[in-house]
Amino acid sequence: MRIRVTTKADLFEKRKQQHIERGYRIEEERPNPVNGFCSFIAVSEIADSDGIGELVTQALNGMPR
């Protein structure tokens, strides 16, 4: 799973470290602020076969489990 994390420039390193500690791999860092914000892509190593993608889809569609 890939998520884009956008954060205020002064919190960029802290947020990146938090994601690394939780097991995410960091890609596409954009540490130079644009309108005061920086971003990066956090990639989870959890396989989609674990059913997480399906649970997210159900949650977004409001479907019961």
pLDDT at site 3: 93
- What is the rounded CA–CA span in Å between residue 55 and residue 59? 6
Burial group, residue 9, by CB count within 10 angstroms (0-12, 13-18, 19+): middle
17: part of which helix (H) or strand (E)? helix 12-21
Determine the Cα–Cα distance for residues 5 and 38; give it in Å rounded to an integer: 8
Q: How confident is the model at residue 62 (pLDDT cuts 50, 70, 90)?
A: confident
In this prediction, residue 61 carries a pLDDT of: 77
- Domain range list for the chain: 2-61
The pTM assigned to this predicted structure is 0.66
Dihedral over alpha carbons 15, 16, 22, 28 (to 10 degrees): 130
3 state DSSP class of 2: strand
pLDDT range class, residue 48, cuts 50, 70, 90: low
Residue 33 has pLDDT above 90, yes or no: yes
